[in-house]
Amino acid sequence: MLMASAASLSFVSSFTDNSLFSSGALVSGPKLIFSQHPPSGSRHKSKSIVIVSRKISGIEEAMRIRRKRELQSKSKVTKRPPLRRGEVSGRLSVPDHIPKPPYVNTSLLPEISREPQLHDSEGIARMKAACELAARVLDYAGTLVRPSVTTDEIDKAVHKMIIDAGAYPSPLGYGRFPKSVCTSVNECMCHGIPDSRQLQDGDIINIDVTVFLNGYHGDTSKTFLCGNVDEDAKSLVKVTKECMDLAISVCKDGVPFKKIGKKISEHAEKFGYSVVDRFVGHGVGTIFHSEPIIIHNRNDRPGHMVEGQTFTIEPILTMGSIDCITWDDDWTTLAADGSLTAQFEHTLLITQTGAEVLTKY
């Protein structure tokens, strides 16, 4: 998961200074201005009136759903406490015989490769192996989610499973990230660092797993429910996964990348949710992060999908504002208003007829 800069349209990790961004960070389509009353002396065809009415109806419905959720939230007696950081334990070791990605030996954040990840038959086979392992590790991590378990315990279990398979946990040492997996709880949008905080009954947690196996990265994430989760949180998680699945359904050779953001935005808005625009999907393969940059909200960014290409789709949805704050660890990024967020991610292989999901849960 990368963070996008509107100022330069370059793409960097989440510890970029927030001052680079303004509300609605990335490029979006032209704004639509609706008028309920035609200007004096003008003539309007009935067809365009119907189209405008339909657009207004969709927006009003999204606003109605959000307002209803806000009123329901205010009526609840108990309120979810804000996320607090725990103690971060020391970095875990990796056996010397396990191959490591080149960034491990430097504290600098790797630049985003401008070349898309295109693979021959051998490369595809290796990508599939890395992605299959990432999916199995994520499944296992999900079985550990329950009240009283710490995210540090999840990290240790994930780390062991990855190195036992002869792979390297890709996040470890990436731009000084200190852990082997990202664990983002409740209002944490992404890049949560595992620590001593215990999961609570009713939490939701995104676990983001990437493994480096035989020279290839496999990348995937999923939001899990912890204990008795309320219906609002369940709905957010469900719709977020639906957004990812709908975006995947439009992918195939020759399709413009911007269709991904359009599909996600349309579905999220039906339920009054916002799509976080600061974090994007990316090409993945022998390099952890590369072109193409996958924008999850409406946009006019050029480019189209090519057969043999691999990249991630990983939308983040929130119940409230898309504004965010980053802790001084330079990674953990939270919704500024404390709203719940959810995320799902798959690595895809583009084919002539569609997209093969390489990280099936």
Q: Which residue, 303, 307, 317, 314, is CA-closest to 271?
A: 317
Instruction: Identify the CATH number of the domain defined by range 115-357.
Output: 3.90.230.10
pLDDT at residue number 172 = 98
Phi, psi of 4 (to 5 degrees): -100, 140
Q: Which residue, 151, 99, 144, is CA-closest to 126?
A: 99
pLDDT at residue number 44 = 43
Encoding tokens for residue 308?
A: 């043999």
Binding residue numbers for a divalent metal cation: 208, 219, 282, 314, 345
Report the 10 Å Cβ neighbour count for 66. Answer: 17
Q: Where are the domains of the chain?
A: 45-72, 115-357
* Tens-digit pLDDT profile for residues 75-133: 343 478 999 999 999 999 999 999 999 999 888 889 899 988 999 999 999 999 999 99
Phi, psi of 204 (to 5 degrees): -120, 145
pLDDT at residue number 66 = 62
pLDDT at residue number 21 = 34
Binding residue numbers: 191, 208, 219, 282, 289, 314, 345
pLDDT at residue number 196 = 98
Binding residue numbers for substrate: 191, 289
What's the mean pLDDT in 298-318? Answer: 97
pLDDT at residue number 80 = 82
- pLDDT tier, 53 (very low <50, low <70, confident <90, very high otherwise): very low
